Structure 1
Amino acid sequence: MDFPSMSLVHADDPNAAEESKTSSPELGDIDRGLHMFLSLHDIVTPLYTAREEEEEAAHAESLRPFKKIGAGACGAVFAQEGKPLAMKLAKSTDSDLWNDYLMHTLIFEKIKRHEIGIKVPECYFFVPKEHPEYFQQHQTLSEAAQAVCHLPTDILVTERIIPLPEMTRTLLIEKYCAGRIKQRALTDPANKDCLVRVYLGSLQGKSGGMFFSLRNFKMHLNQMVELQLDVEEMASQMGKALAVMHWDARTDARDVEFALGSSTKKVPVSIKHYSELIGMEPRTFTGPESGRQEDFFHRKTELWLLDFNQVRAITLDEAGVAQVVEAMTINDPYFPKPLQDNPVARRVWNRFAESYLEVADVVLKEQDPKVRELPGIVLQRLIELQQKKQGKT
């Protein structure tokens, strides 16, 4: 049977969309709800979720205990086991935590825009201490924090950086912990909250000390080299991140930290492709060797950027350069140092400097030539300071 010739693609009628809108009847409550639930890519808001189930889950959530996973001068950080949120509670009444919120959000947006490899936790919301309802709904948070902070206090809620996995923690203890305290370290629950601070500017890493903690474990360049880690890639990511923070976010990046942690998303270890499956016996087991479903997924180790409470805005001039240089020199030894005798340390500095200048040049390409010189001046000042420190001037 012959069908009349027709085009498979119809030309757009410019009036069709408008006519469709005007001719469509207004939906009732049920239809409107189904429309929202079933429309592609729409976000379902709590207004249309199952209220009773949601409230029961929220109540159970409020009873789950919090534990402290970190602390600093600005605040203490708490989280619930297995949950993706971190609660940073202010230790003082000043505006440091609000500044943390502002700068964290700004830097997250800028880093995301430039698509460099480093990760920044998402910043979710701020709870002022004058909001008692939040504390009433999270009694276990109050219970965990009352010995550390004066309550009520401000709270900043962010994405939690997932700690490094158990196997990594065990190996770190085996390699770097003194034998006499090794068993204690293996059973210390605080060591589950393991992030590894990356000190590319120090060759002073040692092991076997009287005190050992994985909560803020510091890994120095010499230790990373011994483990054959890709320190040049870390230096590159660090340089790019600093360039974005300095010249796009226009901040001094004062007291930010760089740490190795796990990715927030689990990745399948080895999904079989069709080309592999057709060569197998039918009904072959293709799961993880252990038989445990959890072992089919893993998390990647990522370099994370965190802690923004001391970050301050800069101007694109000599004063801004001075502010950036000061911030880089008073920070922990995260940043590579110039003029080092160690050949790996020299390569790390070179990669750091090249990446810093490369990204800064992109960021400042529309700026006045004098402004575009500022990143190079920053690096030159760091070299001069190192020369002075080494007595070479």
Structure 2
Amino acid sequence: MASGDRRHLTASDESYNPSIAPTLADHPVANPRLLSLLEPITTEDSRASTPQLGDLEQELHRMLSIHSLVPTSPSFVKRQAATQAENKQSYRKIGAGACGAVFAQKGESLAMKLAKCIDSDLWNDYLMHTLIFEKAKLHEIEIKVPECYFFVPKEDPVYFQKHQTLSEAAQAVCHFPTDILVTERIIPLSEVARTVLIEKYCAGPIKEKALTDPANEDCLVRVYLGSLQGKSGLKFFSLRNFKLHLNQMVELQLDVEEMASQMGKSMAVMHWDARTDARDVEFALRSSTKKIPVSIKDYSELLRMKPRTYTGPESRRNEDHFHRKTELWLLDFNQVRTITLDEAGVAQVVEAMTINDPYFPKPLQDNPVARRVWNRFVESYLEVADAVLKEQDPTVRELPGIVLQRLIELQQKKQGKLSEIEASG
């Protein structure tokens, strides 16, 4: 359907059946205005068959699905135990960005983000990270935000004296002394997940190198719901910031609408409660620890058992620590800036969303899944924004809808320019 035709559809059209969350039934922008922000979903789209997954795709579906439990491989457990017995003072780089480089000790749960330059945004990162963590916790949104522990200014000589091995590990990347932000370390995706990702998406000639590259142990999968450009057979391959595009997630039958919902809710919290533009934040799949406790048996179950039957976990550990839970994480806050609840704030939010990597769903797409993902994002965004702004003036409560409308208008202009280029060619 051409983008220019979609605004003339109404709810009475048989082909128009956008899903609207029940919680939005009484939303102040619901019906005419909400419908103007949603994409048309046809009956044919809804009835699209789901193909059978191959073995490789089934394994990736299991590993990358949000909330899925993944037992940690025995080799990882052995390495962790060995690491605990080794010198815990050794550090290695586990990530890097424009603002800083991230280091961690083997077997430890802290991540050390070191500023790369003098005028870094690390203090702003600290402020915005703490603010957004508190707001996400307050609203109990599903997305995970790592905890932010403490800040070390470069002028603190005692800290650097006590952590000389950190300076030694990072001296090739950063000028010491430098500011440090200490946060929760997020567990990478499992070794099995890394292996299957390499098998699925890495070019054949470099697969062996990718499997043995230590950098790929720090596996983080960026979720690009706004892109359909994902490809296999990549000749330049890294799992440290692996980009998983919407078309690839659809192929793996991941719950992309749930991801869109989590994104929408978290963006609404960041925009309208934290009052920030959420500039350059990142959405990525990584693991969290999940302890599997002993399964407690009730009295009737015990009566049916042979006396003195073992009833603990299969691992024979009192508490099995070696499981990971795949989660969607919200990361990187160094470029986040505060906004005002007015037209200037809207402009700031829209700009931040359009210059970021394509994490967010896009409107006016031909792909039926992309349309459903956009709709879910819109519904969740407005639902949370309405709850946050319910005590505000009506003009302020309109701002979230204006943001979404601006995104639609920008996409219309972009598609119009592309059409002109194609026509002239």
Give the structure-2-normalised TM-score: 0.75
Preserved CA contact (<8 Å) 2:291 2:320: no
Structure 2 equivalent of residue 271 of structure 1: 295
Structure 1 equivalent of residue 104 of structure 2: 79
Distance 1:362 1:273, change over 3 A: same
Which of structures 1 and 2 has the bigger CA Rg? Answer: 1
Partner residue of 1:146 out of 139, 162, 171: 171
What amino acid does structure 1 have at the position aligned with 2:158? E
Report whether the alignment pairs 1:181 with 2:181.
no
List per-residue Cα deviations over 1:309-337 (Å, max 9, x = no partner). Answer: 00001000000000000000000000000
Distance 1:278 1:192, change over 3 A: farther
Moved runs in structure 1, 4+ residues, more than 6 A?
A: 290-296
Q: Aligned-pair distance for 1:225?
A: 0.8
Structure 2 equivalent of residue 240 of structure 1: 265
Q: Distance in 2 between matches of 1:370 and 1:116?
A: 26
List per-residue Cα deviations over 1:209-253 (Å, max 9, x = no partner). Answer: 111111111111111111111110000000000000000000000
Report whether the alignment pairs 1:195 with 2:216.
no
SS in 1 for 2:416: coil
Structure 2 equivalent of residue 381 of structure 1: 406
Distance 1:272 1:188, change over 3 A: farther
Q: Aligned-pair distance for 1:279?
A: 2.9
Structure 1 equivalent of residue 7 of structure 2: none
SS in 2 for 1:94: coil
Preserved CA contact (<8 Å) 2:152 2:181: yes
Q: Aligned-pair distance for 1:188?
A: 1.2
Q: Distance in 1 between matches of 2:291 and 2:104?
A: 23
Distance 1:199 1:293, change over 3 A: farther
What amino acid does structure 2 have at the position aligned with 1:299? R
SS in 2 for 1:252: coil
| RMSD of aligned residue pairs (Cα, Å) | 2.0
Q: Aligned-pair distance for 1:387?
A: 0.7
Q: Flag structure 1 segments of 5+ consecutive residues without an equivalent.
A: 1-59
Q: Distance in 1 between matches of 2:222 and 2:238?
A: 12
Structure 2 equivalent of residue 31 of structure 1: none
Report whether the alignment pairs 1:96 with 2:121.
yes
List per-residue Cα deviations over 1:120-159 (Å, max 9, x = no partner). Answer: 1111100000011111111111111000001110000001
SS in 1 for 2:386: helix
What amino acid does structure 1 have at the position aligned with 2:385? A
Preserved CA contact (<8 Å) 1:122 1:158: yes
Structure 1 equivalent of residue 89 of structure 2: 64
> Bigger shift: 182-191 or 228-237?
182-191
List per-residue Cα deviations over 1:238-290 (Å, max 9, x = no partner). Answer: 00000000000000000000011111x32207725325444333344455657
What amino acid does structure 2 have at the position aligned with 1:334? Y
Distance 1:372 1:66, change over 3 A: same
Preserved CA contact (<8 Å) 1:62 1:138: no
Distance 1:131 1:284, change over 3 A: same
> Could you say which structure has the greater relative contact order, defined with CA pairs below 8 angstroms and 6 or more residues apart?
2
Query: Structure 2 matches for 1:260-299, cutoff 5 A?
Result: 260-263=285-288, 265-268=289-292, 271-274=295-298, 275-286=300-311, 297-299=322-324
Distance 1:170 1:185, change over 3 A: same
Preserved CA contact (<8 Å) 2:264 2:378: yes
SS in 2 for 1:64: coil
SS in 2 for 1:390: helix
> Bigger shift: 281-290 or 116-125?
281-290
SS in 2 for 1:67: strand
Report whether the alignment pairs 1:336 with 2:361.
yes
Give the structure-1-normalised TM-score: 0.81
